Amino acid sequence: MDYTRVIEFILSVNLDIKLRINGDSMLPDLQNNEIVKIVKCDNYELGDVVLFVYENKYLLIHRIVSLNKDYYFCKGDNAFKIEQIPHKNVYGKCVCKIRNDKEIQLNKIDRKTLELSYKIGILLKELSYDYEKVKVSDIYNEYNNYYLKRRGLDNGICT
């Protein structure tokens, strides 16, 4: 079954959906097996956490770290790689996580964090996807200290 079509339909009729997070690319804010609520929006902004289809086969939930008139550039808070996503491939916005039947709003990310996150993705590409070189860069260390450690992720980016 093509779940992306089902999700797209549900959101298109203004219903929200709840999905379970699979993975740790959005640590520290979204944890593996956590449930999130997704809603369709008319506009998506810098810093929004969105659900999108990637490479026509994967559903991902990552943060918009940059954008232009044709694409959103998304990246997990705990990841290196930037995904270039056509606007039409974004299905909805993650508005909250659900714990013990309570909705918890996602943390807002400041501009400096978004810029550092984006720079990590650009550096990764410039270094031919050599993750180890990125991990010893000044940009990575600044992001790790400024954002990840403050949010309780002591070991830094792991994916």
| Least confident piece of the model among 13-17, 24-28, 80-84 | 13-17
Do residues 73 and 64 make contact, with C-beta atoms less than 8 angstroms apart? yes
Average pLDDT taken over every residue of the chain: 88
- Distance CA(81)–CA(74), nearest Å, equals 9
The pLDDT of residue 65 is above 50: yes
pLDDT digit string, tens, across residues 142-153: 998 888 777 776
Q: Does the CA dihedral 33-35-36-38 come out positive or negative?
A: positive
pTM reported for the whole predicted model: 0.88
Give 158's strand partners. none
Count of H-run helices and E-run strands, the chain: 4, 8
DSSP string, 18-84: EEE--SSTTTTTS-TT-EEEEE--S---TT-EEEEEETTTEEEEEEEEEE-SSEEEEE-TT--PPEE
Q: Could you give the CA distance from residue 139 to residue 119 in angstroms, rounded to a whole number?
A: 7
Taking the C-alpha atoms of residue 34 and residue 72, their distance in angstroms, rounded to an integer, is 24
**Type of residue found at 25:** S
With residues binned 3-state (H G I as helix, E B as strand, rest as coil), the percentages for the chain, rounded to 5, are 30, 30, 40
Q: What is the pLDDT of residues 66-111, one digit of tens each?
A: 999 999 999 999 999 999 999 999 999 999 999 888 999 988 889 9
| Buried/exposed code over 2-15 (b: 16+ C-beta within 10 A; e: otherwise) | eebeebbebbeeee
